[in-house]
Structure 1
Amino acid sequence: MKLGIVFEGGGMRGVYTAGVIEAFLEQQFYANYVIGVSAGASNGVSYVSKQRGRALRCIIEYANNPRYASLKSWITTGSYFGMDFLFGDLPHSLEPFDWEACNNNPCEFKIGATDAETGEPVFFDKSDLDDNFTVIRASCSLPLFSPAIQWKGRAYYDGGVVRPIPANQALADGCDFLVIVLTQPRGFQKEPQKGMGLFKAVLHKYPHLVEAMQNRHLVYNEELERVAELEKEGRALVIAPDSGLIMGRTEKDKTNLKAAGRQGYLDGLDALKTLRAQSLIS
């Protein structure tokens, strides 16, 4: 059986996902397949490299560094989240990324991004990863908050714009059962994107991307419906934070981040118990 993990994005809410990953690695649960978008991809790569604690540290220990995420970074680099810090300083020196472990892991790893010109989803794989983590940068580059990332002659933005919860892609790639890690509580519904006038003005050369941003809430809510269907059919196990866990995309309070990571860890352990009870893992 091909078991896959789907990691939703969500900016700093991804610390919940990092906690889930810590539980999985601690218990040596290694899936055949991983797919993530945005923060789900940047966290997922630490799961693929099997580096315990790394995903949590990369968020909690550096969240208040102005180079990590800040208005200053937005003004000086064009990106609210400091891409050169996140995908340069962190993996190369502060929290070294284990390339050997990543490359030796037979797990498939897919990274979702949005083609700026077509407004369509694109999925990269492990072979596309480079020293600069370019395709993961692309997956994390939210329109307006980050510039487009160039890769092999094309411009890309955040994968969460058009495929925020890529469960269908995982199934298309042959997965038989999915563990889907959300960063919003059950019952959440995304509202229409605010400030579309500004998006249209700034992104005028990418009309299909603007259209995708305009429809983003519809796509997100449809994908949530699909997740619920898969869960009801017994084809997926969903892990989601409590409704009491209220965090924004740009959360920086260390106490809140630690609490969210802890909840993710505990929920991850509970999920593994369920998977074992259903004989889906040993």
Structure 2
Amino acid sequence: MKTGLILEGGAVRGIFTAGVLDRLMENGIYYPYVCGVSAGGGNAMSYVSRQIGRTARQINAPKSESYFGFKQFVEVHKIINLDKMAFEYPYKQFPFDFDTYFKSGIDVEYACTCCETGKAEFFSESSDEQKLLTIVKATCSVPMLCDPVEINGKHYLDGSIADSIPIQHALDMGCDRVVIVMTKPDANVPPTNYAKFRQVISHMYKDYPAFIEACMERVDNYNRNIALMDKLQAEGKAFVIRPQIPTISKFEQDSRKIMELYRHGYTLMDKRLLELVEWNEGKPAAEPAGDSELAKDQAVPSEFAGEENVLLASG
């Protein structure tokens, strides 16, 4: 059986995913297929390059080094400076191990929404550093706040617009089962409904009518993904992990709150580690513990860096 790992977006809420993945990496659990969407793309990078703690440091960067916020608006006239995140961080503040990434043997893809078609397209890159970073920039490019990113003559924005949780795509890629890391406590709470911004979206993307339509249909597409996730979970073909405590805002800047959610992701994965290992081996997943129990974070990482090994989960 082939198991895929799907990483939902959520901007700063991706710090929860970082905690989950750091605990997996400490235990040498790596899946043969990974798909990152929006902020999940940044998490996918550090997971495949086996860099424990890198994404957490990046998301919770000091305000002087942060790629979003008032400082960036003053400097580059954008609330979100994705060029800093995509092309500066990997070489300066938070060095990225391109060599390990490219030699990982993991099939990793990033979901991007094509402005011309309104459909999700999935990109991977196994040798060119700049192409990889351009792809990651594209999947993270939030509508209304970021410019479309050009790839191979077409233009792309946030992958979560067309496919927030690419479960069907993972199945189409040959996965029999999927591990899904969500960033909201309640899957029934929809993502940003861009239909509320129809006038703004229609004006900003008047040259991309298919993209406008994709924005209007986003919530419906999300709900279809959730229905498929629930079906697979009931069949024992999906292992889902999501926050069990109130989450933070998508652009939270309170370092304490951000790291609290990181620790929750780490300790929640620690509590469910045996369950995941057994599920990897084909045993059914148990029902997760209640919110009050899971909120009692006991196992806290002593430091971000940790011992790594090369076990590849084949289940």
Taking structure 2 as the reference length, what is the TM-score of the superposition?
Answer: 0.84
AA aligned to 2:225 is E
Q: Using the TM superposition, give the Cα deviation of residue 74 of structure 1 relative to its aligned residue in structure 2, in angstroms.
A: 4.8
| 2:7–2:180 CA contact under 8 A, matched in 1 | yes
SS in 1 for 2:130: coil
CA deviation vs aligned residue, 1:53-111 (integer Å, no higher than 9, x gap): 1111111134x336510245357646432112111221101111001110110111010
In structure 2, the residue matched to 1:265 is: 266
| 1:117–1:209 CA contact under 8 A, matched in 2 | yes
SS in 1 for 2:123: strand
Are 2:221 and 1:222 aligned?
no
| 2:118–2:210 CA contact under 8 A, matched in 1 | yes
| 1:78–1:145 CA contact under 8 A, matched in 2 | no
Distance verdict in 2 for CA 1:75–1:151, change over 3 Å: farther
| 1:66–1:73 CA contact under 8 A, matched in 2 | no
CA deviation vs aligned residue, 1:129-170 (integer Å, no higher than 9, x gap): 533600010001111110000112111111000100011111
AA aligned to 1:160 is S
| 1:150–1:156 CA contact under 8 A, matched in 2 | yes
SS in 1 for 2:36: strand
SS in 1 for 2:19: helix
AA aligned to 1:230 is L
Q: Using the TM superposition, give the Cα deviation of residue 12 of structure 1 relative to its aligned residue in structure 2, in angstroms.
A: 0.6
Task: Give the structure with higher Rg (CA).
Answer: 2
| 2:19–2:263 CA contact under 8 A, matched in 1 | yes
In structure 1, the residue matched to 2:287 is: none
In structure 2, the residue matched to 1:30 is: 30
In structure 1, the residue matched to 2:130 is: 131
80-89 or 212-221, which moves further after superposition? 80-89
Output the CA distance in 1 between the equivalents of 2:186 and 2:66: 32
SS in 2 for 1:161: coil
Output the CA distance in 2 between the equivalents of 1:224 and 1:138: 24
Output the CA distance in 1 between the equivalents of 2:243 and 2:74: 32
Output the CA distance in 2 between the equivalents of 1:33 and 1:103: 14
In structure 1, the residue matched to 2:91 is: 92
Output the CA distance in 2 between the equivalents of 1:276 and 1:116: 40
Distance verdict in 2 for CA 1:129–1:271, change over 3 Å: farther
Normalized per residue, which structure has more helix? 1
In structure 2, the residue matched to 1:44 is: 44
SS in 1 for 2:126: helix
* Unmatched runs of 5 consecutive residues or more in structure 1: none
* Unmatched runs of 5 consecutive residues or more in structure 2: 283-312
Paired residues for 1:98-177 under 5 Å: 98-127=97-126, 130-131=129-130, 133-177=133-177
Q: Percent identity?
A: 31
In structure 2, the residue matched to 1:205 is: 207
AA aligned to 1:103 is F
The alignment's C-alpha RMSD in Å is 1.9
Are 2:211 and 1:192 aligned?
no
Are 2:239 and 1:240 aligned?
no
Q: Using the TM superposition, give the Cα deviation of residue 212 of structure 1 relative to its aligned residue in structure 2, in angstroms.
A: 0.7
In structure 2, the residue matched to 1:59 is: 59
186-195 or 70-79, which moves further after superposition? 70-79
SS in 2 for 1:179: strand
Output the CA distance in 1 between the equivalents of 2:116 and 2:168: 23
Q: Using the TM superposition, give the Cα deviation of residue 196 of structure 1 relative to its aligned residue in structure 2, in angstroms.
A: 1.5
Output the CA distance in 2 between the equivalents of 1:121 and 1:174: 18
Distance verdict in 2 for CA 1:187–1:141, change over 3 Å: closer
| 1:108–1:126 CA contact under 8 A, matched in 2 | no
| 2:102–2:127 CA contact under 8 A, matched in 1 | no
Distance verdict in 2 for CA 1:160–1:128, change over 3 Å: farther
Output the CA distance in 1 between the equivalents of 2:161 and 2:64: 27
SS in 2 for 1:34: strand
CA deviation vs aligned residue, 1:227-252 (integer Å, no higher than 9, x gap): 1111111101000012x323111111
